[in-house]
Amino acid sequence: MAAKEADTLSQLLKKIARSHGMERRFARGKVWEIWEDAVGEAIANHAWPKGFREGVKLVVAVEDSVWMQQLSLQKNLLLDAINRHLPPDAQIKDIRFVQGNVDKLRKQWAKKKKKSSGSTTSSIRVSPQVKKRAEKLVSSIEDDELKSALKKLYLKSRSQPDVKG
């Protein structure tokens, strides 16, 4: 696949994501990746992003009421720190703190991150050339989850059936 075709596919995917309102969602999804850098290790050990409400309000789980109160007092500073790491069109407008199992959320995120960056396509049988083409195809996509899903889809569409004897 030529570089021009990969660029065209990347542009097409961005256009589809934009037309379905997914572009901001993908950009905001980076909050899990940048969380520790944005808020610092001390806070990240006691608070972790849980999800979004109304698209622009970040819900953050904290381990206890003491941390909830402390972070509520620092909400504007945290918002600024997080938004500095996100694109302008993906800015978070508010944070809501809730008590929750921070360790569980961190482990879920780590597992998801490992799965998306790991070799989830190892069971798909394709030639080395097809694998190389798939890598080139998705190389310009920034969102790791989207990149992994599209690579898997492409490889699956080019896979050879697993013949059982």
User: Average pLDDT for residues 79-98, to the nearest whole number?
Assistant: 91
Which residue, 114, 151, 149, is CA-closest to 135? 151
pLDDT of residue 163: 38
pLDDT digits (tens, 9 = 90+) for 104-131: 999 998 888 777 665 455 556 788 888 8
Question: Full-prediction pTM beyond 0.75?
Answer: no
Q: What CATH class does 3-156 carry?
A: alpha beta
Sheet strand arrangement including 47-53: 47-53, 57-62, 94-99
pLDDT of residue 29: 77
Residues 6+ apart with CB under 8 A from 109: 32, 48
User: Average pLDDT for residues 76-91, to the nearest whole number?
Assistant: 91
Any bridge partners for residue 97, and if so which? 60
- Work out the mean pLDDT of the chain and round it to a whole number: 81
- Residue 37 pLDDT more than 50? yes
Residues 6+ apart with CB under 8 A from 83: 91, 92
The Cα–Cα gap between 150 and 72 comes to 39
